[in-house]
Each structure stands twice: as C-alpha cells, then as structure tokens.
Amino acid sequence: MPASTLAAKVNEIIKNMPRMTQLDSDPKTYQYAYIQKSFLFRFPDYIYIQVIPISEKKSTIAIYSHAKYGYSDFGVNQKRVEKILAKLVPRQD
C-alpha cells in the first residue's frame, strides 16, 4: 500500500491503544514518536515508527519500542510491536 495509507493505518492503531500519547510527528518523512505508560506503575515506554516508501504503491514500516527505565521489560515492548503488526496485517487462515 502507499506510504500515506500505511502511516494513517498505523497511527490509527497506536492512537487507540490505552495510555498512549503522541510525542512528535513528521508527516513529510512519515516519522512518529509516542509514549505509552504502564498500567500499574505508569513507567514510560517509547515507540518510534517510520513508514518507508518503496515505490508509489508500496511501503514498509520500522517500529522500535523500548522502556525508559531498567534493563528488562519482561517482553512488553516486543508484544506491543507484534500487536501493532498483527492489526496491520490480519492473519489469513
């Protein structure tokens, strides 16, 4: 799909996630930054998204999610990225 369509879809998914706040965006380069706070202790995790145009009708996405504090996040950030990707590309059984 075109980069603009993919960017709109991923941003809609992320904005509907709980405790999510957009920090920065650059629609020209399709780069976005978000912060999501954990449910119990409100620890911040940062999520960076970049949609990369390949051609006029094709694009791909890079997602990076990490905790601000500590060394381990117990897999929360990996699960977040997997959840976003699963919503972007539903399984076709």
Confidence of residue 11 (pLDDT cuts 50, 70, 90): very high
Closest among 63, 62, 31, 60 to 47, alpha carbons compared: 63
pTM for this prediction: 0.88
Predicted local distance difference test score (pLDDT) of residue 93 = 64
- Cα(49)–Cα(33) distance, rounded to whole angstroms? 6
Is the pLDDT reported for residue 92 higher than 80?
no
Asked whether residue 54 is assigned to any structural domain, the reply reads yes
Instruction: Considering only residues 73 and 14, tell me which one the structure prediction assigns the higher pLDDT.
Output: 14
Asked whether residue 53 is assigned to any structural domain, the reply reads yes
- CATH code at 55? 3.30.310.80
Domain housing 13: 3-88
pLDDT more than 70, % of the chain: 97
- How many structural domains compose the chain? 1
Asked whether residue 80 is assigned to any structural domain, the reply reads yes
